[in-house]
Amino acid sequence: MYYEGDRKLINVLLVTDWDKDVFRFSEVARGLRNLGVRARIGHDVDPGPKHWLWSLGIETKVISMLPLKKFLPKWAEIWQQKHYDKIQEYELLERAGIPVPKWVPVYKGQNPNLSKLGEYVVVKPSLGGRGAFVRVMRRDRVSYRPIATDAMAGKVSPALIAQDYIHTGAWPINYRVGTVFGEPIYMFRSMAEANRLPFFGSSFDANFFAGRSIVATAQGCSRDGEIPEDVIDLAKQAHQAFPDVPLLGVDIVRDIMTKQLFVLEVNACGRTYQLAREESERNLNHFGLDLYGQFGGIQAVVRGIYRKLLTHENVKIQKKIYPAEERKPKICAEL
């Protein structure tokens, strides 16, 4: 292990797609180097000798906001996206003390005990996404059925989840906070299209749900940046349950009657990076949302990675700003 004085050297290798840099890692690497971190970019291909030689004898962290397929070096610690299903996500969230709606897994060939849930429950595939196949039904009618979604490349979900319905208002509302190692990088509130039939009353019976969708993010929804501070705080806390997953898109709802917040999912597999040029332009053009102006854009990503390095195994990075003409830092961290 190399040291400079009493300072421990450490590398950060940012791994992205071969053909495009949607995460703008070139800018992230530059920001990390400005903070004294030794950083460079790699691609998800079989590890070659150049990165090994670059990291030789120095502790190295590989960071990817995609699940890696090929770049899995044994000489580095890897922080990457992971394919958790919703059951696994809920178990990890509950273990960390994060509030989630009451829920029960529903497997093939089993008769689930749903007695702790309300008369009408939300049923969705454990392996799914984008609000596909989310339904409300009577508790006594819930049973497993095979569901394959486009969001999961046609894979059949091995289980369903039945959970309590959380009433967010006449038109469903969902909060999304994007975080990098717990650092907020963007946020928005999604509200169901106002032309849809509203939810009125509090009976939660067949008439209440008839002809209505509970998905706030369906086509025609609106978005704004009105996110309360307690929602942001909960998203930051939720990331603590997934400490080595770089990017989360934390979906949160608030019960309009009790005001309690619940995490619906965290999207640990990725595909939630709204700071890519195409996504940020779409949010600006369609919704008037300047996501870059919320937390600083790429600088928020840099802060998230930087703070992760600060807290990991008691490593303390010594900040050193290098002039533009000599950004070749030799140091990165001290114990």
CATH number, domain of 16, equals 3.40.50
pTM for the complete prediction? 0.87
Q: Determine the Cα–Cα distance for residues 219 and 263; give it in Å rounded to an integer.
A: 22
CA angle in degrees (0–180, nearest 5) for 268-273-275: 160
- pLDDT at position 8 is 57
User: Are 59 and 16 members of one domain?
Assistant: yes
**Does residue 51 lie within any of the structural domains?**
yes
Helix axes 25-34, 298-311, angle to 10 degrees: 50
Q: Which two tokens stand for residue 210?
A: 């008839």
**Does residue 97 lie within any of the structural domains?**
no
Beta pairing class for 173-180 and 247-254: antiparallel
- pLDDT at position 151 is 54
Q: Along the chain (335 residues), what's the average pLDDT of each consecutive run of 10 residues?
A: 53 85 90 91 90 89 95 95 94 97 92 91 82 82 78 72 93 96 97 85 76 83 94 98 97 96 94 89 93 95 95 54 33 30
Beta pairing class for 77-79 and 59-64: parallel
User: Are 107 and 76 members of one domain?
Assistant: no
Which of 143, 165, 187 is at the close of a domain? 165
**Does residue 145 lie within any of the structural domains?**
yes
Q: Determine the Cα–Cα distance for residues 128 and 153; give it in Å rounded to an integer.
A: 10
CA angle in degrees (0–180, nearest 5) for 104-131-99: 45
As a three-state string, the secondary structure of the chain is CCEECCEECEEEEEEECCCCCCCCHHHHHHHHHHCCCEEEEEECCCCCHHHHHHHCCCEEEEEECCCCCCCCCCCCEEECCCCCCHHHHHHHHHHCCCCCCCEEEEECCCCCCCCCCCCEEEEEECCCCCCCCCEEEEHHHCCCCCCECHHHCCCECCEEEEEECCCCCCCCEEEEEEEECCEEEEEEEEECCCCCCCCCCCCCCHHHHCCCCCCCCCCCCEEECCCCHHHHHHHHHHHCCCCCCCEEEEEEEECCCCCCEEEEECCCCCCCCCCCHHHHHHHHHHHCCCCHHHHCCHHHHHHHHHHHHHHHHHCECCCCCCCHHHCCCCCCCEC
- pLDDT at position 25 is 93
**Does residue 19 lie within any of the structural domains?**
yes
**Does residue 134 lie within any of the structural domains?**
yes
Rg (CA), the chain: 22
User: Are 22 and 56 members of one domain?
Assistant: yes
Q: Determine the Cα–Cα distance for residues 42 and 214; give it in Å rounded to an integer.
A: 41
Q: Determine the Cα–Cα distance for residues 237 and 234; give it in Å rounded to an integer.
A: 5
223: phi then psi, degrees, rounded to nearest 5: -135, 145
**Does residue 136 lie within any of the structural domains?**
yes
**Does residue 50 lie within any of the structural domains?**
yes
User: Are 48 and 77 members of one domain?
Assistant: yes
The domain total for the chain is 2
**Does residue 177 lie within any of the structural domains?**
no
User: Are 110 and 155 members of one domain?
Assistant: yes
- Assess contact for 306 and 35: CB atoms under 8 A: yes
Q: Determine the Cα–Cα distance for residues 152 and 282; give it in Å rounded to an integer.
A: 23
Which of 165, 181, 198 is at the close of a domain? 165
257: phi then psi, degrees, rounded to nearest 5: -90, -45
- Assess contact for 161 and 199: CB atoms under 8 A: no
Which of 165, 193, 216 is at the close of a domain? 165
Residue ranges making up the domain that contains 144: 102-165
